[in-house]
Amino acid sequence: MKRLLALLLSFSLFSGSGQDLDQVKKDLIMLTSPELAGRGYVDNGLEKAADFITGRLGEMGLNPVMQEYGYAVNTFPKSSILKIDGTSLKEGYDFIVDPRSGSYRGSAKLMQLDSASLFAEERPTIVKGVIPVIDTEGIDTPDEVAIQHEFVRQALRNGPVLLLKEKLTWSVGQRLYPNPLIEVIKSSFPEKANKISLKVKPVELEFEATNIIAKVEGKRSDSLLVFTAHYDHLGMMGKALFAGASDNATGTATLLDLAKHYSRNEPDFDTYFIFFSGEEAGLIGSRYFVEFPTFDLSKIKFLINLDLMGSAAKGITIVNGRLHQDLMAKMAAINTEENLVPKIKLRGKAANSDHYWFSEMGIPAIFIYTEGNITAYHDVYDLPSVVDWSNYEEVFTLLVDFVKTF
């Protein structure tokens, strides 16, 4: 904790009004540091992230409200061990454990399958004590994926299952399977592998999380505007750190920058800044908030949710944009007049971030994410080094000038 407090102090300086990219970069480094353990469920990562955010808001003279709630989650505080014919694979890099996995410890022979054998007229027989290894290459259509899923579900009743993948993508989940489902990078798996040794020991938790709500008073209180972003990420799988730089330390850092701007430049309306937890677990934090709001939701004129804000080299995409064509036309006019981002792409309705539950209640809400050069997503490679902040000042200006139209 002393180390965390020292880091907090080292990031405490910020400048005047307008965007402050230097501070945003410092916040990104802190949010993705090993000290915050991936802002997840191991080593108090999410709690430490909340402490950092509330500390930054306090520096701005804001007094955030903390909203606590809980949900079940399957965690992996201890390292998982996977050996192929005696050779150890590296967790997070060579393999991941599906978050819905149960525990297992033992060794077994392998049965290697591909799309041809899996979809053959005579389906492979699941043999107890033999672990299926499925090469997922060529399994693409919904029907093929459904057949694979059903085979895996049946096989997991007897023991572990391995899936060979080109990319590892981790997530958060609750316990579902009696045995581990393991994803392995295909290039890390020997073609003639014969035997594996596996140890997986997840821990189920009833996790306590916190939403953070900060308010900047405006010239009017009859209506209000809301900016949101989720600050949680995946945390750690054993020793593998999922730092979550692009997703969504970038959105969190941007939200802090906006809060600082409006704390120094009185907005026209009361403006709220909500830092949600539980997004990666299924939009749980935002759902809880709309069910138990800390302010009158009927007063919201508009809500802007920020996620994946690290590189707008190719522009921005706006989910729910097609639902608000008149307002999006105003944003497009500002963008053209001020020559800001290269492109604004509008999408329809989607339940892919924290705007969703507000939209479902009839509250005008959009979700903005940037389009750029970042390919790391839900993996150990989503680090500060992948974030180039291309067109950050332009995106910030677009948001601030768009809000002025209300």
User: In this prediction, what percent of the chain has a pLDDT beyond 90?
Assistant: 90
Residues 68 and 101 in one domain: no
Structural contact between residues 340 and 332, judged by C-beta atoms closer than 8 angstroms: no
Mean pLDDT over the full length of the chain: 94
Contacts of 76 (CB under 8 A, 6+ apart): 42, 97, 99, 200, 201, 202, 203, 236, 237, 238
17 band by pLDDT with thresholds 50, 70 and 90:
very low
Residues 175 and 210 in one domain: no
Output phi, psi for 7, to 5 deg: -65, -40
Distance CA 100, CA 149 (A): 14
pLDDT at 379 over 70: yes
Tokens 């998982």 -> residue: 80
Residues 63 and 90 in one domain: no
Which of 6-15, 62-71, 218-227, 365-374 has the least mean pLDDT? Answer: 6-15
Residues 193 and 321 in one domain: no
Tokens 């060529």 -> residue: 138
Residues 14 and 66 in one domain: yes
Residues 306 and 334 in one domain: yes
Structure tokens, 285: 């934090």
324 band by pLDDT with thresholds 50, 70 and 90:
very high
pLDDT, mean of residues 324-344: 98
The pLDDT of residue 122 is 85
Please state the domain count of the chain: 2
User: In this prediction, what percent of the chain has a pLDDT beyond 70?
Assistant: 96
Q: Which of 200, 218, 249 is the last residue of a domain?
A: 200
For 137-166, what is each residue's pLDDT tens digit? 999 999 999 999 999 999 999 999 999 999
pLDDT, mean of residues 43-72: 98
Q: Which of 174, 200, 226 is the last residue of a domain?
A: 200
What CATH code is carried by the domain that includes residue 367?
3.40.630.10
Beta strands in 231-364 (DSSP E): 235-237, 240-242, 269-276, 300-306, 315-319, 344-346
Q: What is the DSSP string of 337-360?
A: HHT-SS-EEE-----SSTTHHHHH
16 band by pLDDT with thresholds 50, 70 and 90:
very low
Instruction: Tell me the HSE value of 162 on the side-chain side, using a 13 A CA sphere.
Output: 28
pLDDT at 399 over 80: yes
Structure tokens, 157: 């009743």
Q: Give me the helices (H) in 107-249, please.
A: 115-118, 142-155
The pLDDT of residue 246 is 98
Residues 154 and 245 in one domain: no
Residues 380 and 264 in one domain: yes
29 band by pLDDT with thresholds 50, 70 and 90:
very high
4 band by pLDDT with thresholds 50, 70 and 90:
low
What CATH code is carried by the domain that includes residue 98?
3.50.30.30
Structure tokens, 334: 């500002």
pLDDT at 1 over 90: no
Residues 55 and 113 in one domain: no
Stated as kind and residue range, the H or E segment containing 18 is: none
- From the CB of residue 197, how many other CB atoms can be counted at a distance below 10 Å? 15
Nearest to 45 by CA among 227, 200, 244: 244
Residues 322 and 183 in one domain: no
**Domain containing 149: what range?**
79-200
pLDDT at 5 over 80: no
Residues 182 and 315 in one domain: no
Asked if the peptide bond before residue 248 counts as cis, ω within 30 degrees of 0, the response is: yes
Q: Which of 200, 223, 246 is the last residue of a domain?
A: 200
Residues 125 and 47 in one domain: no
pLDDT at 10 over 80: no
